[in-house]
Structure 1
């Protein structure tokens, strides 16, 4: 037993009865601590997941806004080009009218 680490079972078997209850309480406390730490880890993971979801939602909203802005700009460009085209057509008509009038 000299070079070997003692396990909880070895400690349990070597202790007198009164010490055995102390060890069992200690083991139970250790299990409770592990359980609580597991719960804390799960809570932290849940919080991180919620933060991730909020961040993803915010980025999606931001993307939608920029997409709408791009569509608005594209529509304005199309309207502007249509106006220029119609003005050019009117110019051509007046030009032909005045050329034919001479």
Structure 2
């Protein structure tokens, strides 16, 4: 996600605005994940959101590594989502940086 914050820093004018926008992105991602609550206790529509949330998969991988049961499918999902985030936001950031005057 650092490429996303770098992209936002090229678009927004002040560090405080980047911090504010980053909190608006990370706050829902964190709370609509499996970090604090078991997704089985959530409504059906929220369970669907939790299943595609990259923070959910990252938390599952970290828990599995700490427990000694490495979920290989989850590791693959985290790696794929990381590559996609870098590819999309890295490219946009590079284009914005080159066009900045």
TM-score by length of 1: 0.32
Work out which structure has the larger RCO, using CA pairs closer than 8 Å and 6 or more positions apart in sequence: 2
Larger Rg over CA atoms: 1
